[in-house]
């Protein structure tokens, strides 16, 4: 039976990021993925590499600062995958967030981003932009423009995994873990691929997204298995056969949530994507799908702001976010990754943002080093180009 240092379960963006970082740090790594790279949440995002302007309202300043730093790095390391695009915030007479609040938020956003040129913002000619994109102009007071990143989340995850493999990490898929047995010095992990196989690992990283707590049920150990109490929050997007806007619109819905309207490449066509929702999900994560209520919510928002545009739904998709279960509203809950020891040697990643995957992986490496000791580093993830 083969023995390795680190076994990563899940080939979403965080699993791929940890595999890349661990291999770069000199550890032997294998990744097990039950379906395909970025098959779950990592392929159902808003496709944005951003600091999270809206997280300023819930005082998540450290997450915003970290994400903006990672965004700047990714535009350099993956220029073909991550590009800065204009974001527009229209302010109407009925908009809850007043112009002074928008300016203050954008100024703080720029400050947290280091006041680099790409973090500057400005007020736009509202009527010219409204006419160009078909944006509702009635009672439109101002439009602000700033810049954030856009990506193809699947291609980015594939590029990170490819980098990990080039550094020596192994990827096995399809491979569904059926049992994890904790021994005195390591773990025996049994998984079903073309046939039942097993591997020994000194450390296991649970990066299985919304399935993290389900995976805990497959661990046998003398110690009590520790799982965090979480909510799975469904986010739906719709893709419309509508003329794409000239940039990404950051809009306020009737319930005061932020929703994006985004130019989106769909089957070699440039269309429009609208998202996302936040709806508490119950049931098996394998069965997530967009609800009629969510689709109507997004379509109504689009027609409210772009009343002259014709829009047929081409596709809709839904993904699941992992959030800590708290009394606060879903909007106010922390969005950063939580690292948690299920048992000594099994480190579980709860939640997290696409943008901050590399920073999260760096935190995981510190935990690996504490448990296994350092190895001879062969590369730095902040210097590895992705394509």
The per-residue pLDDT for 186 is: 94
pLDDT at 240 over 90: yes
CA distances to 8, 179, 260, 275, 359 from 295, in Å? 35, 38, 14, 9, 33
Residues 177-228: tens digit of each pLDDT = 999 999 989 999 999 998 999 999 999 999 999 999 999 999 999 999 999 9
Question: Quick count: other Cβ atoms within 10 Å of Cβ 287?
Answer: 7
Residue 342 in 3-state DSSP?
strand
Which run of H or of E encompasses 111?
Answer: helix 99-112
The per-residue pLDDT for 330 is: 64
pLDDT at 348 over 80: yes
Residues 115-124: tens digit of each pLDDT = 888 899 999 9
pLDDT at 328 over 90: no
The per-residue pLDDT for 331 is: 64
* DSSP result, 23-69: HHTT--EEEE-SS-TT-SGGGSS--EE---GGGGGGT-HHHHHHHHH
**Please, what sign has the CA dihedral across residues 154, 208, 16, 35?**
negative
Over pLDDT 70: what percentage of the chain? 98
Looking at every residue in the chain, the average pLDDT score rounds to 94
- Please give the average per-residue pLDDT across 370-383, as a whole number: 96
Kindly list the domain boundaries of the chain, sorted by start residue: 3-42+154-229+334-383, 50-149, 230-324
* DSSP result, 249-260: EEEE-TTS-EEE
Q: Between these two residues, 376 and 335, which has the higher pLDDT value?
A: 376
3-42+154-229+334-383 has which fold?
Answer: FAD/NAD(P)-binding domain (3.50.50)
Output DSSP code: residue 134: T
Question: pLDDT-based confidence at 332, cuts 50/70/90?
Answer: low
CA distances to 206, 246, 306 from 183, in Å? 17, 57, 60
The per-residue pLDDT for 327 is: 67
Helical H segments across 134-233, by residue range: 153-166, 212-216
The per-residue pLDDT for 268 is: 84
Residues 40-99: tens digit of each pLDDT = 888 899 999 999 999 998 899 999 999 999 999 999 999 999 999 999 999 999 999 999
Claim: this prediction has a pTM higher than 0.75:
yes
- Residue 250 β-bridge partners: 260
Over pLDDT 90: what percentage of the chain? 84
pLDDT at 255 over 90: no
CATH number for the domain formed by residue range(s) 230-324: 3.30.9.10
Closest CA to 31 of 45, 48, 56, 13: 13
Burial class (CB in 10 A: 0-12, 13-18, 19+), 268: exposed
* DSSP result, 88-106: EEEEETT-SS-HHHHHHHH
Question: Do residues 139 and 94 touch, judged by C-beta distance below 8 A?
Answer: yes
């Amino acid at each position: 039976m083969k023995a390795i240092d680190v076994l990563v379960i899940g080939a979403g963006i965080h699993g791929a990021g940890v595999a890349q970082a661990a291999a770069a740090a000199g550890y032997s790594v294998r990744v097990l993925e039950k379906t395909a790279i970025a098959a779950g949440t990592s392929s159902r995002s808003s496709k944005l590499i951003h600091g999270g302007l809206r997280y300023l309202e819930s005082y998540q300043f450290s997450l915003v600062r970290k994400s903006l730093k990672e965004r700047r790095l990714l535009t350099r390391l993956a220029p073909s995958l991550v590009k800065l695009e204009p974001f527009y915030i229209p302010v109407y007479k009925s908009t809850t967030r007043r112009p002074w609040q928008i300016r203050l938020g954008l100024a703080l956003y720029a400050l947290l981003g280091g006041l680099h040129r790409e973090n500057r913002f400005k007020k736009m000619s509202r009527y010219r932009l409204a006419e160009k994109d078909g944006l509702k102009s009635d009672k439109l007071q101002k439009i602000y423009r700033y810049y954030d990143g856009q990506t193809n989340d699947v291609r980015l995850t594939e590029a990170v995994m490819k980098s990990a493999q080039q550094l020596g990490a192994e990827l096995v898929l399809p491979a569904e873990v059926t049992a994890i047995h904790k021994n005195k010095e390591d773990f025996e992990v049994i998984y079903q691929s073309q046939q039942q196989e097993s591997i020994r690992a000194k450390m296991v990283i649970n990066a299985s997204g919304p399935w993290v707590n389900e995976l805990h049920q497959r661990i046998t150990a003398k110690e009590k298995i520790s799982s965090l109490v979480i909510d799975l929050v469904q986010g739906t997007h719709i893709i419309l056969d509508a003329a794409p806007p000239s940039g990404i619109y950051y809009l306020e819905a009737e319930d005061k949530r932020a929703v994006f309207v985004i130019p989106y490449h769909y089957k070699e066509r440039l269309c429009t994507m609208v998202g996302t929702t936040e709806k508490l999900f119950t049931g098996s994560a394998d069965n997530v799908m967009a609800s009629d209520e969510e689709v109507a919510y997004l379509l109504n928002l689009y027609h409210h702001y772009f009343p002259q545009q014709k829009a047929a739904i081409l596709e809709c998709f839904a993904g699941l976010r992992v959030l800590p279960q708290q009394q606060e509203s879903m909007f106010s809950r922390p969005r950063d990754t939580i690292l948690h020891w299920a048992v000594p040697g099994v480190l579980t990643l709860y939640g997290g943002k696409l943008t901050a995957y590399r920073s999260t992986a760096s935190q995981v490496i510190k935990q690996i080093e504490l448990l296994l000791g350092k190895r001879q580093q062969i590369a730095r993830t902040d210097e590895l180009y992705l394509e």
